[in-house]
Structure formats: structure tokens, C-alpha cells
Chains A and B, each alone.
Chain A
Amino acid sequence: MTRTTARNGARSSTRTIVLRAIMLTVLALAATFALDPFRNYQLAVVAATFCATAGLTLLVGLTGQLSLGHGVLMAAGGYGYALVAGPAADAGLGGVGRFALGIAGALVLSAVVGGLLGLAGARLRGPYLAGLTLALVIALPAVATQVPGLGKDQGLGVPFEAVPAPLAGVMVVEQWHAWIAIVVAAVAVTPLVVLRSGPAGLRMRATHGDEVAARLAGISPARVKVTAFVASSVSAGLGGAVLAVVAQNVGPGRYSLAFSLLLLVAVVVGGLGSVGGAAVGAALVVLLPWLVDTVVSGAGMPADLEQRLSGNLAVAVFGALLVAVTVAWPGGLAGATAGPRARLARRRRPAPAPVLDPDTDPAQEPTSDPQPLTER
């Protein structure tokens, strides 16, 4: 593809992206009425996780930077929210003002952490960046314990967001939190989609494909990488803020290494580089453990076996999925649902084939195949 077509495509598609995002958001909001409180809670968690996976899929899929510590960026958002919204509540502030201030706090803190990581990422190659992000995620509990004001291992409390008066007659708090999560996710992810389909996305792919060539074409790989990291981090931070609101709490326990690895599972299984895949992946990592658990406890096994299977089985399924998708199905679920014709075309031709897919993100520009892992 050439740069001109991509740019034209980008200009005309930005509007489409926003329109489709609004449509999807409204649909999702309406769907919450069909769900019971627990499902709405799960939906809120999925939406928050989606914020993080959308950013991560962009980072890993487009720029090829492997972050094993994306949970830390979510934590940064959560703490940013709590650190601002908590004192705001103490000062008697409530409602939209307090929420907006909290979100601003989440944005600032996650952008700062993401920016610093991006600067590191611009200097470090693959495994070295992975190593640094791994050390960071391991150090998170120590940070929470040692830095005063972060509430140690119990974390910080987050003010309760009650259903606003005009809606109080029609919904319970779980549904309201799902609404918050959906709207924040839309606000977080739509810019990523625009970014991805525009010239910035092209620069990211170029940098990933061949850094030297990109530099010759006048692109600064360092700047591209930092941009990608900040964009991805801010989105994850918003997700973290939502989780903090829903849980009324933010602490280091949630953002363990296992959680960060699950985020990676989500984007790989969903299809690296595909925002729609990131949504599917987010739903998978939230719902699969619950589903497996339900199946296990419904199967009527001996208590001892059930206890051992509980928890472990879901992890085994995730691991197997990760291996299977990477080995057999490099496009992930997004690639697999792209239709046989596209897959055939991709197999025949070395260049990525056009993919148009209703299940993937609304912004799929015509020439963007979900980047397979093998892409170089």
C-alpha cells in the first residue's frame, strides 16, 4: 500500500470511526438493560480490561514492543484516580466534578509512567524491554508498600459512585458502573483506533518493519515508540481508573505479573494489532475463568479434585490457547474470523491481504490486516 491511499483512507475514515464508535457505545449501553447485576459487573470489568488490551495490542502489534508490565500502567491510572478523587471527596466534592478530577489524575499519572517507559522502550530492544517491564511489575507491591500515601498492600479506597438521581429509578449501581465503564472505554479506545488508521499508525508499522528504512523516510523511531507507549498507557490508565471506581479500591494485589500476562494472552488470542480482537480477548480473560469454574463446580466431582481443578484449569486453558494461537493461528481470533477468502489470499500472497470484518474494530482501514506474529 502507498502512503497516499492510507492517508486518504484515514481522512475519510476518522468520521466513520467516530460514528461507529458512538453507535457501538449506544448499543452497549442499551444492552446493559438485558443483564442482571452480576453480568453488568462483569461487563464493566470487560470494558475496563478492553481499555488496556486495546492499547497493548497497538503497542505490541504495531510497534513490536513487548510490554510484560501493562498491569502497572492500569495500576498507575487507578492510583491516579484514587489520589485525586479521594481528597476531592474529603473536601466535600461529589458527582461529575469529582469523577472528572479523578479521571484527570488517572490520565496524568499513567501518561507520566507510560512516557518514562516509552523513553526506555525507545532505547531498548525486544527482550530487554520485556525484562525491564517484568522487573517493574514485580516491584509494584514494593512501591505500594514503600511509597507513603499509597495505602500499602491493602491499597487505597475510592469514593463510591452512586447512580445519579435522574437514573435512579431505572437502574441499580452495577448497571450504572457498567455505563461508566462503557463510556470511558469508548473515550479511551476511539482515539487509539483513529491513531492506528492514520499516518501515526503507518509510522508505527514502518518503524516495526524496518527501523533503518523508517529513519531514511524521515520518521523518528524514538518519537514513534514514545508516542505509542504514551497512547497505550493512557488508555490502560483509564481502564485502571474504571476498575478502581467499580471496585471502590485500588491496590497492588490486583496487578500481579499473572494479570499482566493475561493481558498479553488477550491481545495475542484476539489477534495482535486488531482492536476488535482486543475486545474479544478482554472478554475472554474475564469470562473464561468464571465459565471454567462454573463447569467444574457443576460437574459433581469429588471435593478434593474440584478444589485442585478450580483456578488451575482456567490457567491451563489460557496457556494452551496462547500456544495454539501462536503456533497454528497467528492472526488470532480476529484473523480467523476474517473469512476463508481473505485467509486464502493471505496464504498465497506474501503481502497482507485486505480484510474487512464486522467483528473487528470499526476502523479497520482497508489495507490493515491484523498483524500476524511473523510480521517483520
Chain B
Amino acid sequence: MDRLVLLVSTGVARGLVIALFALSLVIIWRAARIVNFGQAAMAVVAVYVAFAVHAATGSYVLAVLGALVTGALLGLAVERGLMRRVPGATPMPGMIVAIGLVMVLQSLLGVLFGPRHRPMSPVFSQSPLYVGDVPVLSRYDLFVLVVALVVVVGLGLLFNRSTLGLQLRAAAVAPEVSRLLGVRVPRMVTIGWMLSSAVAALAVLLLVPTELGLNAHSADVLFVHAFTVAVLGGLDSPAGALVGGLVVGVLISLVTGYASAGLAPLAVLGLLTTVLLVRPGGIFATKEARTA
């Protein structure tokens, strides 16, 4: 039982970061109908900036701000400079350009900073909080949890309760109609990109202290898990990203704990296959016609 508590709590902590990143993919899919394969690489660039800010000022808050701002600016640059020029009504060309972007960014980071991991110690103590005598979550995990929840709730409010959110959704679902109704569709797409990249940068910044450290490939696995999660939950569904992230996080933790680490990718593949067989548009798929 102790074991289960430990594994589930670990899974939740990891799953939340995955969920946050998956959420960024959902935002961009809703705004621009594109799966941004470049999300991880862009976020890593932003985190390198955050590291530089942290090194220069010693302030974690400024580092977080640095990551968010750089993330948003990168989103802006990529959308305005690149994606807007991509032809086509299908998602495929955009996805391919994004794959090209990953290659360029990762190799440039490799050239500039070399292959070494740059470790970052977390701001909060990593010593755990106990339930009974089981160490459950570290204070840092708790911090991640709170940040993730704040972001999720904030985005929920933004999309559902604000005019901007309404415009964002309208522009994504029915661009032509929205344009007629006076919504500046291109601007909405840009805002979607900026929002999405900033959230992704935050997710990677939260992830790095729990892993080996920062290098060009730090977020590769996170991206793969998050993409799986976004597909699992339904690319259109923020709730799906959240639930999917938690499910995948806990699944990986349980399989690693009770079976072996090597089986975890197979368990994720199995879960994804099963879900897609039953619901080809993901768990929280709404209208089929909107998914392609």
C-alpha cells in the first residue's frame, strides 16, 4: 500500500508536467490546426535563456519570467516568420516545417552549448512531505502541482470566460465566419502560438530540475509523452490533456515500479492503441469533423 502511494504520487508529479506540455500542444492545435513538433526545441531555447537570466540575477522569479517571455517571442517569431508562409489547408505541411525547425534548433543548441547537461537545482527543498511514514511529494513537486493547476485554471478561464478566449476559439473553429464578424483571425493565431510556446517553456523549466539537467535534448522524451497524451485525450480537449497527462504519468510510474522500466514505453503504446481503437479521435473527442 505504501508502495502504491509512493508510485501514484510520483506519477502525478511527473504527469502534471506532461499534462502542462500537452496542454500547450492542444492550445496550438486549437488555434492553428497544427501539431507543433518544434514545441520541445523552442521551449528548450527559452529555458536556456531562463538559465542565463538565473545565472545573471540569481532570481528564480526573473528566470521564470525570462522563460515565459522568450517562449512567447519565439512563438511569435515562428508563426509570423515561418508558419504564416506555409501553404496549405491540411495540417501536414505545417507539421513537416515544424519537424525541420526541431532539427535546426537542436543542432544549433548543440553547436553553441555542446552536449553537456547543465544541472539546475530546484528553488524549493527537494525533501519530501510524509503521509504516515511514506515520503510522498517533495516541496518542489508540490510547487509544480500548484503552478500546473494555476495555469490550467487560468487558461480555462481565458478560453471560456473572456472575450479574447471566445475570439480565439471562434477563429480556430470557423475562421471565415469569424473574419466576417470582425475577429482578426491572423492575430488570434499569433496569440495562440505565443500562449502555447510560453506554456511549453514553463513546462520544460519545471521539468529540468527533476532530471539530469539542461541540454538540447532535455525535452525530447517530454514531447513524445505529451504528444501521446494530447492524441490520447483528443487534440482539441484541454481536459483531455490534463487527464491524459495524469494517466500516462501514473501508468509509467506503476509499470516501472511493479514490472520494469523497460516495459513502460510498451505500456504507453498499448494504452494509446487501445484508446484510439475505441475512440479514434481521443477520449474527449467532440466533433469528428473538426479533427482533421
Contacts and interface: CB of A to CB of B under 8 A. Distances in A.
Nearest to A316: B107
Given A126-B91, A135-B224, A326 B100 contact: yes
Interface in A129-162: 130-132, 134-136, 138-139, 141-143, 145-146
B111 A312 contact: yes
Contacts of B276: 120, 123-124, 128, 132
A376 interface: yes
Contacts of A146: 262-263, 266
Nearest to B41: A319
Contacts of B208: none
A97 to B, nearest CB: 35
A261 B99 contact: yes
Given A127-B95, A312-B111, A330-B93, A139 B100 contact: no
B90 interface: yes
B87 A132 contact: no
B262 A128 contact: no
A327 interface: yes
Given A123-B277, A123-B280, A268-B96, A315 B103 contact: yes
B21 interface: no
B19 to A, nearest CB: 16
Contacts of A66: 92, 95
Nearest to B86: A327
B268 A134 contact: no
Interface string B102-114: 1111111011001
A4 B200 CA distance: 52
B82 interface: yes
A143 B270 CA distance: 12
A322 interface: yes
Contacts of A138: 224, 265, 268-269
Interface in B251-291: 262-266, 268-269, 272-273, 276-277, 280-282, 291
A318 B266 contact: no
B87 A373 contact: yes
B165 to A, nearest CB: 23
A308 B268 CA distance: 34
A374 B273 contact: no
Contact of B87 (A128, A264, A374): A374
Interface residues of A, number: 49
Which of A66, A127, A308 lies at the interface centre, i.e. has the most chain B CB atoms within 10 A of its CB?
A127
A52 to B, nearest CB: 17
Contacts of A323: 82, 97, 100-101, 104
B107 A315 contact: yes
Contacts of B111: 308-309, 312-313, 316
B231 interface: yes
A288 interface: no
B20 to A, nearest CB: 18
Contacts of B99: 261, 264-265, 319, 322
A308 B110 contact: yes
Interface in B81-135: 82, 85-93, 95-97, 99-108, 110-111, 114
Contacts of B181: none
A125 interface: yes
A64 interface: yes
A295 interface: no
Contacts of A312: 107-108, 110-111
A138 B281 CA distance: 21
A318 B106 CA distance: 12
A372 B85 CA distance: 15
Contacts of A60: 92
A131 B101 contact: no
A134 B276 CA distance: 14
Contacts of A143: 266
A64 B92 CA distance: 8
Interface string B219-240: 0000010011011000100000
B1 interface: no
Given A131-B227, A315-B103, A316-B104, A326 B266 contact: no
Contact of A120 (B91, B263, B273): B273
A127 B266 contact: no
Contacts of B91: 126-127
B196 to A, nearest CB: 15
A196 to B, nearest CB: 19
Given A319-B104, A323-B82, 10 more contacts: A127-B231, A135-B224, A135-B269, A142-B265, A261-B99, A316-B108, A319-B103, A322-B97, A327-B87, A376-B90
Q: Which 10 A-B pairs have the closest CB atoms?
A: A319-B103, A322-B100, A131-B231, A319-B104, A323-B100, A316-B107, A125-B292, A312-B107, A315-B107, A374-B88
28 contacts: A64-B92, A66-B95, A125-B291, A126-B292, A127-B95, A127-B235, A131-B272, A132-B276, A134-B224, A138-B268, A139-B266, A142-B262, A142-B263, A264-B96, A268-B96, A311-B110, A312-B107, A313-B111, A315-B107, A318-B103, A319-B102, A319-B105, A319-B107, A323-B82, A323-B104, A326-B86, A330-B87, A376-B88
Interface of A: 60, 64, 66, 120, 123-128, 130-132, 134-136, 138-139, 141-143, 145-146, 257, 261, 264-265, 268, 308-309, 311-316, 318-323, 326-327, 330, 372-374, 376
